[in-house]
Amino acid sequence: MTAKILNGKEIAKSKRADIKVKVDSLKKKGIIPGLAVILVGEDSASQTYVRSKQKACQTAGIHSVLIELPESTSEQQLLTEIERLNQDQSIDGILVQLPLPTQISEYAILEKITPHKDVDGFHPSNIGKLVIGERGFIPCTPYGILEMLRASEVHIEGKHVVVVGRSNIVGKPVGQLLLNEHATVTYCHSKTENLEMITSQADILIVAVGRARFIKATAVKKGAVVIDVGINRVQEQLVGDVDFHEVKEVASYITPVPGGVGPMTITMLLENTVQSASRRELWSC
């Protein structure tokens, strides 16, 4: 068998068309959704990602503000900028591009963003709501994975999900999100013993470890759904954390790299921003 491709580009395209309709509806009511992105320093990967976000906002009709700060920016200067945006009624979402320079505490910055503008879904308040199953902003990559599975009609309830990776950005929240969808979830990481034995039991395998072609066919159950979150540069080529060419012969569905999870992450950022703007509409009533 050869796996069906979970085409993130196509799913994102459809989702963004729906978002554009929502934006147009809000504009007719005098509300223009606004997203502010703060970029500290000159990391090339971050600059590329920010440009993609700005382009996506423009296409969707979302007002986008880019604030570029030098590498030498102090933590207090960044906190002051965030507070200004917290008070700006034209801004519905605030995103601080990670990673940050070493002199700045990532936690302090993410905590400073007011939760109702935390469209990245990283504020402790929104993570807490995710854990208890209450409505809040969901981190964009996990949210995108869930939407991909739904769009492809992959059944989640009762299935065994194995997450390889335990980051606060992807691993932990995606496991909790799918637990909320009634999956049985197992977390694995760099210190997990007998890793292949565990991953080969997964109905849905999600890999986010940042190691090129780390998961081989021997680690995958026949017919499993494989979601590859990784993106690694190998000899001028972008590859995932899963050995795509091996694993596609075992899995039932698999995401490519690039073109899989990546487009969905930016799409769900737009969705969260529009959700925030919709709440502004309710507050103005």
Tokens standing for residue 170 = 């992807």
Give the residue among 47, 41, 36, 169 at the shortest CA–CA distance from 103: 41
96: left (phi > 0), else alpha (psi -120 to 50), else beta? Answer: beta
Give the residue among 267, 11, 277 at the shortest CA–CA distance from 140: 267
What is the DSSP pairing of strand 225-228 with strand 204-207? parallel
Q: Of 22, 97, 117, 176, which is the active-site residue?
A: 97
DSSP state for residue 137 in the 8-state scheme: P
Q: How many other C-beta atoms lie within 10 A of the C-beta of residue 10?
A: 13
Whether residue 29 lies in the annotated active site: no
CB neighbours of 93 closer than 8 A, spacing ≥ 6?
33, 34, 35, 36, 117, 118, 119, 269, 272, 273, 276
Q: Of 118, 120, 203, 241, which is the active-site residue?
A: 120
Whether residue 24 lies in the annotated active site: no
Whether residue 77 lies in the annotated active site: no
Q: How many other C-beta atoms lie within 10 A of the C-beta of residue 4?
A: 13
Q: Of 53, 112, 159, 221, which is the active-site residue?
A: 53
39: left (phi > 0), else alpha (psi -120 to 50), else beta? Answer: beta
Instruction: Answer yes or no: are the C-beta atoms of 82 and 54 closer than 8 Å.
Output: no
What are the residue numbers of the active site? 53, 97, 120
